[in-house]
Amino acid sequence: MSVNSKEKQGDDIPSLVWHSSNIRIETLHSDWQEIRETKFAEFSNDTYKPKYFVYSAHLDIYKNVLRIIAVTPLLSKQKLHCHIFDGELQPVGVFEGIISATKNPQSYLPYSAAYILCKPEVNLFRTLKYVSISPFPHHNSSHGFSNLLPINLPPAKSEKEPHTFSVCVQPTFDYDNVAEFIQWMEFYKNMGVTHFTFYNMSIGPRVSCVMKSAAVNQETGITILNWTVPIKDHLQLHVNGQLAQQNDCLLRYRGVTKYLVLVDFDELIIPNYVYASDFFDLVTLMDNEWSSQPRNGSLAQYKFRSAIFDFDFSNLSDVKKDIYKDSFELEDLIVYKYVIRQRDLYPSKIRSKLITMPWRVLEPGVHFLDKAVDDRTEFEIDPEIAYVHHYRRFYHCKDNHTCYKIPQSLDYLAHFYADNLYKKARNVIDKLVAECS
């Protein structure tokens, strides 16, 4: 078997043990790869040239299958094959690959996030290290494969996860707000989060510097993955392939974290301090609530309703963005400064955010559970206990005049966390001056 010269380079093949406790910051070189051989396959012709892309491969011990994170034409019937290789890139076997489209609320779009499912023989599990997807069961050894993916083998389910809470952020485009990022990260660390994963489309240089700085990484685990969107048109593929990213992150964190928080940089899941002041207390409380009544199925994921805190509601200036040159005070904290929100929270499944359990879920979804393992289900949390504070422009708020017409409510709940958050953020900012200012 031959691979392209680029694929032979170690720097272009990500570590199989990406969550190493010895490495605080990891930038993996995996990215989307096109299955170029499909141009010559059964369902391609002069007028219809569908494209197929793969991103990562994960062993699912529940079904004894390989799950390949992919983007494919919706409802594609293209026949695929999984070529499996060992650590020396020697062929191990070829197995049928079945396309399984993920649940997609935009089912009218021509492309969809999908799994390509391969079922190698169980006795090969200790041997398989890489997989390449092709429409052909046989391959001319004189030509390299167009794609090659390392196979992520999760730790044994019996092993205790090294992290209790981790955060995964959707693909990040043109983001460089250092002040917001530091506050966001320190808030989640205060909640108990010890590892973060980011999917980099175009993270700005200032935020990138913070992510990679010694000041941050001496106590925080961060993984950055490249995410060059295979199809950029939102009329072709749902929002930068976000569903594929959610599935990828969930499978990467199996055996690595017990709970995975799925949010964006302007979203904070804030517990009501009367009941819980961090995620450890919150999970205990939510589990007790779940157990207090008869339920169908077992628990797999928590869902939190959301409310927007529009900056124009308070008619205040934006949060300072140059925190190195300007003074940064308690009053500059987002959670301290913006206390007016829309009066009525969004209904269930609209703008909701999730804390999921990787071992119990197959497709976490974006705003609600798409697919769990076996009979497991989702639990919507009473907003009195916790809900998402979403700091952004209100969707129907075109200007200050229309903002004032939206029913609003004062909400000082986040002030409980402000003093401690300010001290942590201020400490990080002081350390970053030498590295990133």
What CATH number corresponds to the domain at position 44? 2.60.40
User: In the structure, what pLDDT confidence band is assigned to residue 3 with cuts at 50, 70 and 90?
Assistant: very low
Boundary-marking domain end, from 123, 152, 181: 152
More confident residue, 382 or 396: 382
Q: What range defines the domain where residue 80 resides? A: 32-152
Q: What is the CATH number of the domain that holds 424?
A: 3.90.550
User: In the structure, what pLDDT confidence band is assigned to residue 104 with cuts at 50, 70 and 90?
Assistant: low
User: pLDDT digit string (tens) for 60-83?
Assistant: 988 899 999 999 998 888 999 999
Residue type, 22: N
Which pLDDT belongs to residue 376? 93
Same domain (yes/no): 145, 242: no
Least confident of 128-132, 145-149, 158-162, 317-321: 317-321
User: pLDDT digit string (tens) for 359-376?
Assistant: 999 999 999 999 999 889
User: Is the pLDDT score of 294 beyond 80?
Assistant: yes
82: part of which helix (H) or strand (E)? strand 80-85
Same domain (yes/no): 107, 202: no
Same domain (yes/no): 38, 134: yes
Give mean pLDDT, residues 325-330.
Answer: 78
Same domain (yes/no): 208, 274: yes
Same domain (yes/no): 237, 325: yes
Is 52 a domain residue? yes
Which pLDDT belongs to residue 414? 97
Residue count (the chain) = 437
**262 near 166, Cβ under 8 Å?**
no
Same domain (yes/no): 90, 218: no
Same domain (yes/no): 265, 321: yes
Do β-strands 80-85 and 91-101 pair in parallel, antiparallel, or remain unpaired? Answer: antiparallel
What's the total number of domains in the chain? Answer: 2
- The rounded distance, in Å, linking the Cα atoms of 185 and 264 is 11
- The rounded distance, in Å, linking the Cα atoms of 151 and 28 is 14
- The rounded distance, in Å, linking the Cα atoms of 343 and 313 is 11
Provide the terminal-to-terminal Cα distance of the chain, rounded to the nearest Å: 49
Is 10 a domain residue? no
Give mean pLDDT, residues 391-405.
Answer: 68
Boundary-marking domain end, from 121, 152, 183: 152
User: pLDDT digit string (tens) for 107-139?
Assistant: 678 899 999 999 999 888 888 999 999 999 987
Which pLDDT belongs to residue 103? 73
**258 near 250, Cβ under 8 Å?**
no
Which pLDDT belongs to residue 63? 86
